[in-house]
């Protein structure tokens, strides 16, 4: 475990953040910094940078969230894999069954999670999306514990303070993978509940 993995973000409410903080967070995310400055609510957040990313297309701000499941158990085993240069894959976040959030890639950067993909005619979903991996076996039976779903919703709610992410752009890997049927994750996750739970409290 590296030193960065044990750093924690403070726990604070997202309500009523000063405007300057929000602007700074957006700038940090746009610049691709791995450490956006808006505090995350309600969850432990650790940093474990992955080298598996490149730049987003010029001027593109993410407006989409793609939810995955890892199809393998163990938060840190998955994190380790997504940090290996040879794996050539990553996600912005991995969320453990206990609700712990690990960030691997800065929001302004293009993580490699969706592969060949398309959202309502827009190709290369990685270019305009944020990828979240949930630790789950993806067999349709392995549950997504409440703590994991709560952290995921809180994380998306937080991102919605920085980016415009409509409900219809909170999608699954199965929704956007091409050709259709190439991916099935996150099997068994209640996406409607997640969309509902991730709406900003004041919006
Ligand atoms: Zn996936």
Q: Mean pLDDT throughout 114-119?
A: 98
Burial environment of residue 20 by CB neighbours within 10 A (0 to 12, 13 to 18, 19 or more): exposed
Question: What domains appear along the chain, each with residue ranges and CATH number?
Answer: 3-8+36-197 (3.40.80.10)
Query: Quick one: pLDDT at residue 166?
Result: 97
Residue 16 Cα to ligand 1 middle (Å): 34
Give residues whose Cβ lies within 5 Å of ion ligand 1. Answer: 68, 173, 185
**Residue with more model confidence, 78 or 7:** 78
* Residues carrying an active site annotation: 133
Q: How far is the CA of 152 from the centre of ligand 1 (A)?
A: 15
Q: What distance in angstroms lies between residue 17's CA and the mean position of ligand 1's atoms?
A: 33
Whole-number pLDDT of residue 203: 45
93-95 vs 101-103, strand pairing mode: antiparallel
Tell me the pairing of strands 64-69 and 129-134. parallel
19 CA to centre of ligand 1 in angstroms: 35
Higher pLDDT, 51 or 45: 51
What residues have CB less than 8 Å from 202, skipping those under 6 apart? Answer: 15
Give the tokens for residue 181: 């049927």
CA of 12 to the centre of ligand 1 (A): 30
């Amino acid at each position: 475990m590296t030193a960065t993995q044990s750093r924690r973000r403070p726990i604070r409410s997202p309500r009523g953040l000063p405007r300057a903080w929000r602007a700074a967070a957006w700038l940090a995310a746009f610049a691709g910094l791995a450490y956006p400055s808006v505090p995350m609510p309600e969850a432990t957040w650790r940093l474990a940078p992955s080298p598996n990313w490149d730049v987003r297309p010029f001027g593109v701000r993410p407006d989409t969230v793609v939810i995955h499941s890892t199809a393998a158990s163990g938060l840190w085993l998955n994190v380790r894999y997504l940090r290996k240069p040879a794996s050539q894959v990553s996600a912005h976040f991995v969320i453990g069954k206990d609700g712990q959030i690990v960030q691997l890639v800065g929001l302004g950067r293009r993580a490699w999670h969706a592969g060949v993909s398309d959202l309502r005619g827009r190709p290369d979903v990685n270019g305009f999306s944020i990828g979240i991996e949930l630790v789950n076996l993806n067999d349709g039976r392995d549950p997504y514990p409440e703590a994991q779903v709560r952290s995921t919703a809180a994380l998306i709610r937080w991102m919605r303070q920085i980016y415009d992410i409509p409900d219809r752009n909170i999608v699954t890997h199965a929704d956007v993978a091409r050709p259709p049927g190439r991916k099935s994750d996150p099997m068994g996750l209640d996406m409607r509940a997640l969309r509902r739970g991730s709406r900003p409290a004041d919006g």
